[in-house]
Amino acid sequence: MTEPDCQFKDAIDAERCQHGGVQTFVHTIRRAVAIAPDREALVCGQDRLTYRQFDARLRRLNGLLSSIDLAPGDRVAVLSFNSIPFIELYCGISMGGWAQVPLNFRWAEAELAYALEDSGARVLFCDRDPGALSDLVERVIRIDLGEYDQAVNRAEEVEFDDRAVDEHDLAGLFYTGGTTGVSKGVMLTHRNLIANAWNMQVTQPMTGDDRYLIVAPMFHAAGSVSVLQSILVGATQVVLPAFDAGTMLDLIQNEHITQTLGVPTMVAATVEEQLVRPREVSNFKVYAHGGSPIAMEVVRRGVLAFPGTQFLHLYGATETSPIISGLVDEVERLGTEREKSAGQSVIGCEIVIRGIDGQPLPAGQPGEVTIRGANVMAGYWNKPEQTEAALRDGWYWSGDVGKLDQEGFLFLLDRSKDMMISGGENIYCTEVEDALYTHPAILEATVFGIPSERWGEAVHAVVVLRPGSEADESELIDHCRSTIAHYKAPRSIAFSVDPLPKSGPGKVLKRQLRAPHWANSDQAIG
């Protein structure tokens, strides 16, 4: 940074300190109420709130939480399907100076207990019987039994004090999913999440006329990614409690949805449903997807299902609040070298590919994806060693393998842990999965390495066929060999009649599928 840049940054920081910070959840809500007080803010089933009503309920929620005598920075957990109360808690907890802890409702009780104990949450809001979890917090407030609404309605309206909340204060602990190891509490500040809202507004713009569908679970970054962005511009958010392809399409039709974001498994399911039982989707402008790589065949079929819709590939991580890059013209890229790109870095976010020595690599060279920007987390809660490993010299080391081309388009090759080494050759799972998805009989496919005495690791696939379709192992292997190098093609394929197991956000649980193959092996997974 040059000297003038340093002076400019110091001036901005000084002004923010003088005014108590300008990048908090409080200011986000205030803007929405100022520009669109009577516009519909939230819709879920028969429940509808204007921004004026939303603001009043947030102030009552602030009164409720204040009456519990929480100290600044205390953690408050939420275990719930998507709902209006979830959005109120997402905003209100952080606006009051406390830290939210959204919990994965698909976790086992032991995993939920770990997150509650690790975070030190004092209060749990939930939409189900908490069981033994109630012993880990001081108070449980049930959403499903009406206790939450009753408590909020009885509470006194308490104004939010923006001087008591700073942009660098912790807004929440967001526990990472279970596909890559032990869950960690990602510490995201108000500044981190507001920066993401701005990044989304540049990459996936919205206006007050937009109607955004929340379809991915809100405990995951894909579900909450545009909550603050929508509020900033005064857009309407329509909430789908739990994903169902048909119900989602009904909402797109009946609520005149203009935008949404889903994980690839959701996109694939809605594409198939729309092709078989089409709905009126002429208002549907943008279908964003993220959370894991998508097969290009799903996008190609998506063009047929939603001919007037723009598909948008977003890449991110919980640790980056989450958006890092976006391919904003994905359909136009089909058939080109960049169709598999994750796009260019969002404004304010810098991407550098680094080798194992930590040095930047030139364009075209694969290495670890590292990120710097206002959206990068403060660290992992209670995990200094993991924080030190992930945050180095102001950069977040993602663990993802990728490369940049000459114009900064990012190509993700795989999670580094999912890379296979077979016969001395690096093989990236997504490339093999894409080859499988181009076969017309494939509905779902996942690829990982299994032990091989000859090769070290052998490429193995698990697939689900489309209803009424037929294909055998040799046919699918030959199909892959017709599109990728022979050594990359699966050496074995298992057929599943059930959908592939997935995490709460919809990512395929490769570890669960891979573990039995390595249970009796003395080899380490590459």
Q: DSSP letter for 212, please.
A: E
Cβ-count burial of 272 within 10 angstroms (0-12 exposed, 13-18 middle, 19+ buried)? middle
Query: Which residue among 348, 375, 410 closes a domain?
Result: 410
Residue 95, SS3 per DSSP: helix
- C-beta of residue 431 within 8 angstroms of C-beta of residue 416: no
CATH at 435: 3.30.300.30
**Per-residue model confidence (pLDDT) at position 453:** 75
Q: Tell whether 451 and 308 lie within a shared domain.
A: no
Report the alpha-carbon distance of residue 52 to residue 49 in Å, rounded: 8
CB 461 within 8 A of CB 494: yes
2 inside domain: no
The domain tally of the chain equals 2
Helix (H, G, I), strand (E, B) or coil at 386: helix
Greatest CA separation found in the chain? 70
Is the same domain home to 164 and 232?
yes
The reply to whether 10 falls in a domain is no
Could you tell me whether strands 456-465 and 391-392 are parallel, antiparallel, or unpaired per DSSP bridges? unpaired
pLDDT (tens, 9 = 90+) of the chain, 526 residues, equals: 333 333 333 433 433 433 344 589 999 999 999 999 999 999 999 999 999 999 999 999 999 999 998 999 999 999 999 999 999 999 999 999 999 999 988 888 888 999 999 999 999 999 999 999 999 999 999 999 999 999 999 999 999 998 889 999 999 999 985 444 568 999 999 999 999 999 999 999 999 999 999 999 999 899 999 999 999 999 999 999 999 999 999 999 999 999 999 988 899 999 999 999 999 999 999 999 987 778 788 899 999 999 999 999 999 999 999 999 999 989 999 999 999 899 999 998 999 999 989 999 999 999 999 999 999 999 999 999 999 999 999 999 999 999 999 999 999 886 666 778 787 677 878 889 989 999 999 999 999 999 887 777 899 999 999 999 999 999 999 999 998 888 899 999 999 999 999 987 788 998 899 889 988 775 544 3
Please tell me the distance from the alpha carbon of residue 371 to that of residue 196, in angstroms, as a whole number.
14
Question: What is the DSSP track for 192-209?
Answer: HHHHHHHHHHHHS---TT
Asked whether residue 7 is assigned to any structural domain, the reply reads no
Q: How many CB atoms lie within 10 A of CB 223?
A: 26
Residues 370 and 454 occupy one common structural domain: no
Residue 60 in domain? yes
Would you say residue 6 lies in a domain?
no
Residue 465 falls within a domain, yes or no? yes
Of 354, 387, 410, the last residue of a domain is: 410
In a shared domain, residues 111 and 201: yes
Residue in 217, 184, 195 with CA at minimum distance from that of residue 90: 217
Question: Residues 381, 453: one domain?
Answer: no
Q: Is 283 within the bounds of a domain?
A: yes
- Cβ-proximal residues to 303 (8 Å cutoff; 6+ apart), any chain: 311, 331, 334
Q: Are residues 391 and 423 in the same domain?
A: no
What domain range is 399 assigned to? Answer: 19-410
Cα 313 from Cα 290, distance rounded (Å): 6
CA distances from 479 to 421, 425, 436, 475 (A): 22, 21, 7, 6
| Together in a domain, 405 and 436 | no
CATH classification at residue 178: 3.40.50.12780
Pair 427, 350 in one domain: no
Other C-beta atoms lying within 10 Å of the C-beta of residue 19:
10
- Do 380 and 487 lie in one domain? The reply is no
Do residues 27 and 107 share a domain? yes
Contact 61, 95 (CB under 8 A): no
For residue 385, how many other CB atoms are within 10 A of its CB?
A: 8
Locate 503 and state its tokens: 């995490």
- Distance of alpha carbon 415 from alpha carbon 425, whole angstroms: 16
* E strand segments, 241-308: 259-262, 286-289
> Is residue 320 domain-shared with residue 455, that is, in the same domain?
no
Residue 11 falls within a domain, yes or no? no
Query: In whole angstroms, how large is the CA radius of gyration of the chain?
Result: 23
State the Cα–Cα distance between residues 447 and 517, nearest whole angstrom.
Answer: 13
| End-of-domain residue from the set 350, 375, 410 | 410
Same domain, 297 and 426: no
Work out the number of other CB atoms within 10 angstroms of the CB of residue 354: 17
Per the CB < 8 A criterion, the answer to whether 200 and 222 are in contact is no
What are 512-515's contacts with CB under 8 Å, separation 24+? 513/446, 513/448, 513/462, 514/448, 514/449, 514/450
Q: What is the pLDDT of residue 474?
A: 97
Residue 9 CA neighbour count, 13 Å, CB half: 7
